[in-house]
Structure 1
Amino acid sequence: MAVNLAILAIGSNLGDREQALRAAVREIAALDRVVMVAASGIVETAAVKPDGVDLAAPAYLNAAVAVRTSLAPLELLAAVNAIEAELGRVRGVRWGDRIIDIDIISFADLELDSPTLTIPHPRAAERSFVLTPWLQLDEDAAIPGRGRVADLLAELDTPAEYPAEPLL
């Protein structure tokens, strides 16, 4: 049974955002066949909607975690979707406001494009709220086919703020 490194991005813009992130990290760490390796600090950014940045929507708190897992990618997706549901996530409007969002950003060096999961995450390279905390986990991180996380982040003009303590 192979053990792979996966990067998960976590976000929240409704309710007690920091508590939601911390609860998600605890639940991820408690998953069978998953070992928490590291967690980033928390960053705050404006909400991003299909039409771009939405300053009228509540701001997001975001973080990233690195885990080692023997779960297959779709098993990990099912597990994090169950955590989202347990924490009160309601799937309604695509890219809508949410209590919690957990995305698989990368999974080892895997490239996957299925109806339910795309790895690496198709928009990770464009989002400072993913890249900033990921860079905290690994200064040499790279997105297969896209480049180094540090270089991708340097190309963006959407800064992320650091309002809170690290998650671990």
Structure 2
Amino acid sequence: MADYAVVVMAAAARHCGGARVSAVQLAEETGLPAPTVQKLVSRLAGAGLLRSSRGVGGGLKLARPAAAISVADIVEAVEGPIALTACVEHGRHDCTLEGACAVRPHWPLVNEALRGALAGVPLTRLALDVRVAEPVSASVRAAPLHQPVSAPA
């Protein structure tokens, strides 16, 4: 669900000037099922990342500027704290290797690095539409860089 939440938030961020958008519009724009988008919108609003208003002129918009929302914020809103392992959580003792695991004391460092990396990616970066309209033709890809590609006859 975290990856879908990032897709939904990026779509919401593309609505310029903070324009409101409906969950149905977000579902259409992203290709995600409307019930999934509705569930995500609820979680994202609950986490303070989206603002929802009802009635005429209502809809959804980012609760703060896209530059102030990171991928880490979005993932944590949907999945909870970012961690590769749950064994570092207090009270969790469900790993059969826990007693002999030499790596366990180091997981917090790994988890902190992972969260830091995701926190360094602002939503503004993901809201950019960098898809290429047309693929590069095979003749252009195969042409040496130092020679111009000749026009077809």
| TM-score above 0.5, yes or no | no
Larger Rg computed on CA atoms: 2
Q: Which has the higher contact order (CA 8 A, sep 6+)?
A: 1
From the two aligned structures, give the one with the greater helix fraction. Answer: 2
When normalised by structure 2's length, the TM-score is: 0.28
From the two aligned structures, give the one with the greater strand fraction. Answer: 1
